[in-house]
Chain A
Amino acid sequence: MIREFGTVEFLYLLGAMRWTLGLSIVAFVGGGIVGLLIALLRVSPWAPFRWLATAYIQLFQATPLLMLLFLVFFGLALVGLSQDAFSSVTIALTCYASAYFGEIWRGSIQAVPQTQWQGSAALGFSYLEQMRHVVLPQSVRIATPPTVGFMVQLVKNTSLASIIGFHELTHAAQYVNNVTLKPILVYGIVGAMYFAVCFPLYLLSRRLEEKFNADR
């Protein structure tokens, strides 16, 4: 039975969008926490930590996200947990995001001038105190534009969750297309919905970047 594309279908898509946004936020938070750890390891004065973090980043940046997703999805069953699409996507996106955040924030930390390290060392701060009170706070300003920019990638990448059956916006789009048989309309509207979230984020990151460069 073919349905017409109407308000019901549109609201259905909007409903699925909640999951897209929810996934994005979870991945952002999870990836952010792990990513911070990775970044700190990456800049640490102890070489083994650095190598570990570098290997982590290189590994996840050279792997297709889809592969990561499949490995986690099928791997969960192996360790005795149920093959749950939501957990799989969350874990996979978190690993993926943490590698990219690790790299972005590593750059931001290293962009804080050496003089800040020297000044606080002269005052007697320990490494952890320097990080916590002097360097990290300053690196946040530098990190904000690219971090917001990466959010756009995260939102788009949640679409891969549809491939393992998770019911976010792209999955809903396929369903609505199968039922209405109007692919251009359906995928066009869904594309516009993603655009409505991603484009403002992109503009925001551009504006933050200009503001940051102007203040320097």
Chain B
Amino acid sequence: MDYTFQFGSVWAAMPRLIEGAKLTITLSVATIGIGLLIGILCALARTSHRAWLRRPAAVYVEAIRNTPFLIQLFMIYFGLPSLGVRLEPVQAALVGMSINCGAYATEIVRAGIDAVPRGQLEAARAMGFPVPSIVRHVILFPALRAVFPALASQFILVMLGSAVVSTVSVEELTGVAHLIETENFRPFEVYLVVTAMYLAIAFTFKVVFAAVDRFYFQARGRA
């Protein structure tokens, strides 16, 4: 191999890379929040008795989970303008990532809802709890607790998948990396460093989620 690695220009660009990383993290955290909300609502819709709630939710989930994220992103960024909705790249990225995350979160939360023992629902019904109260007090916390590890894994995948939004000119970590490598002609070094940065972010997310699990979910009794 006849190549000398030159990381100098990469370190020089580190401030810009860190800005990119911040955007990656911001986008991911926002997506996680919105995606979880969508996931909870659609999971409740999918487990509902009413077909008019169940069916659209099912269509949404299966359409998203069986098509590539890149196509969904292009549909939003390039397709919506022809309907008069012109989104900035970051907005399109957020919308695309949230819709995508929401579909996967729905299936995970649904498994959690199914895991809540029937008996507890019956006790609440027998006491006369209205349905929204049953969801809020009896289902939500135990369901999320049961599936939190799976949700955490999915959220880390969301963060890793954010790299793809660089294709619509978002200057998150991968987008910035691309700009830098067109300037310093050292693509391998740039992407190597950036990969290490993704690893660091993924590890941090993992630690944070583990702490949330331990101090919030597992602190209130056992299932």
Contacts and interface: CB of A to CB of B under 8 A. Distances in A.
- Are A and B close enough to touch in the complex, i.e. CB under 8 Å? yes
Interface of A: 59, 62-68, 70-71, 74-75, 78-80, 152, 156-157, 159-160, 162-163, 170, 173-174, 177, 182-184, 187-188, 190-191, 194-195, 198-199, 202
Given A71-B192, A79-B1, A156-B69, A187 B164 contact: no
Interface stretch (B87-95, B124-132, B193-201, B211-219): B193-201
A80 B2 CA distance: 8
Contacts, number: 113
A118 to B, nearest CB: 31
A74 B78 contact: no
Contact of B187 (A74, A191, A194): A74
A195 B198 contact: no
B174 A78 contact: no
Contacts of A198: 65-67
10 contacts: A62-B202, A64-B160, A64-B198, A66-B174, A67-B194, A78-B1, A80-B1, A163-B70, A173-B71, A194-B67
Interface residues of B, number: 39
B163 A194 contact: no
**Chain A interface SS verdict (over half):** helix
Contacts of B67: 156, 191, 194-195, 198
Given A75-B188, A184-B83, 15 more contacts: A64-B164, A66-B163, A71-B195, A78-B3, A152-B66, A156-B66, A156-B68, A173-B74, A177-B78, A183-B78, A194-B67, A195-B67, A198-B67, A199-B62, A202-B62
Contact of A170 (B70, B161, B163, B198): B70
A30 B59 CA distance: 33
B203 interface: yes
Interface in B1-54: 1-3
B195 A63 contact: yes
A75 B5 CA distance: 11
A184 B75 contact: yes
- Which 3 residue pairs across A and B have the least CB separation, nearest first? A159-B68, A198-B66, A64-B163
A129 to B, nearest CB: 36
A190 B78 CA distance: 14
B209 interface: no
Contacts of A71: 188, 191-192, 195
A74 B191 contact: yes
Contacts of A184: 75, 79, 82-83
